[in-house]
Amino acid sequence: MSAQNPIPAGDPALVGPPDPEHDPRASYALEPEYVAALTARLTATSGTTAEVRSPLNDAPLAHIPQSTTQDVATAFSRARQAQVAWARTPVDVRAAMLLRLHDIVLDRQEEITDLVIWENGKARKHAFDEPLHVALTARYYGRTAGRHLGTRRVPGVFPVLTRAEINRVPKGVVGIISPWNYPFDLALIDGLAAIVAGNAVVTKPDAQTMLSALLAAELLEEAGLPRDLWQVVAGPGPEIGGAIIERADYVCFTGSTATGRAVAKACADRLIGSSLELGGKNPLLVLRDADLEKAAEGAVRASFSSSGQLCVSIERMFVADQVYDRFVERFVARTQAMTLGATLEWGNDMGTLVSQAQLDTVVAHVEDAVAKGARVLTGGNHRPDLGPYYFEPTILEGVTPDMTCFGKETFGPVVSLYRFHDEADAVSRANGGEYGLNASIYSQDGDRARFIARHIKCGTVNINEAFAATFASLDTPMGGMRESGTGRRQGAEGVLRFTETQSVATQRVLPLGPQYGMSDELYAKVMTLNLRLLKKLGRA
């Protein structure tokens, strides 16, 4: 996916050579000038680059300049200086910038979508979800920032005498470490909430998808964000990510549970906050009264959107005995009817995996399951004719606890089917393991489905929908329970995490203590009478 290349400062590899036929470092897929304009936004002085190739066809995309730990320090210094003025900028001015970004993202959606596909390999309809979700997020916080962040009056200890209010003060500089699976969306959505709250951002996107994240930075500047307020660095996670955690006032991380634990420990050592969206082994329940056509359609999207490389993808399906055979017939048929391909064009139902490492994991999980007795109902094959890392959408039956894919996240286009007879048993099995990110329930009885949802240990539960209902409802917080993470993005929680709570109280006329000449004993009696009176008046 990437390789370190020592390149002297000023070498044309940093901007892309003009003749791809004669220079192996050339960008065959993207214009060198386009790449150069994006990578110029990096704070990177190491003189080395990392090559990035496309999962569509293994074509070179770019040579990304690499940052040093000193570059990270420089990025934080610039961000801190810019943040002082930004924190004093009225919230409505910050919000207006997000509303401009909303329009810019929609205007340039074709460019964004193309770049996401080149770097990630997903189908175009799934790549389109990224500018769509960013626009939704920008509009949401652009419209609601004042409500979430404005000073709030609350009752003081005594009516009239005590005025109390709560301020939301920005943390300072937020560090964001974003993944490759939603490279434009996840590079932006946490940061949008951070900057509207008055913070600066230093971000380290994944090495495979730097260009999408750099395009995001360009669009922010076009929308009016001061350039120094959003810093981008590049480099190995353990080195550059660690340097970010050492300097940030708050950290957002999206990635594996193992790395999330390390991030949480490092943040705890510094007594700073963090929000972590981590792994998942997400369940889908098809109840006996489900509309099977809708359930089968949703199951395809739930399992194979972005080739299963979506944090909220479904990897386990629990289907009621009464409808199991009819559901499986429909689900398999819809899966087999999918249009497969790794191209920039519309029309593909599923794109490719992103890397050899992801392909190796998927192949290993399927081969292990089959060797131990699982049945492949459809799929199960690597398809190099479609792309170097392409793997067919795969449905497994008969998966047992001794198989790797039973409890370990695959993060690919593989789903396992299980029968259930008793709904309580289905809920118990859905809650098995240590993850708790997303779940889905299909039933025509909405009340019953919502009741069951309360017993599912997942941060989001979608009813009669795969994942998009919660994902696109920006007032609903998103995040995981248990080993799927801590903290929430979206909604009020998604922006308030980037603030400190400051309480301010003003006392009028009488002090909260004995007045001049009043004994302590008399003060205690007066206060006791006042407390009893306030209780009778219904005060909290």
* Residues catalogued as catalytic: 277, 311
Whole-angstrom Cα Rg for the chain: 26
Residues 304, 431, 297, CA angle at the centre, nearest 5°?
30
Burial of 456 (0-12, 13-18, 19+ CB in 10 A): buried
User: Who's near 533: CB < 8 A, 6+ residues apart?
Assistant: none
User: Who's near 257: CB < 8 A, 6+ residues apart?
Assistant: 278, 279, 435, 483, 484, 485
For CA atoms 115, 121, 125, 128, give the dihedral sign.
negative
Q: Which residues sit opposite 173 in a β-bridge?
A: 200
Q: Which residues sit opposite 387 in a β-bridge?
A: none
Contact 22, 60 (CB under 8 A): no
* Residue with tokens 């289905």, as numbered in its chain: 426
- Quote the CA–CA distance of 8 and 48 in Å, as a whole number: 7
Q: Report strand pairing: 282-286 vs 314-320.
A: parallel
User: Who's near 38: CB < 8 A, 6+ residues apart?
Assistant: 211, 214, 215, 218
- Quote the CA–CA distance of 206 and 390 in Å, as a whole number: 21
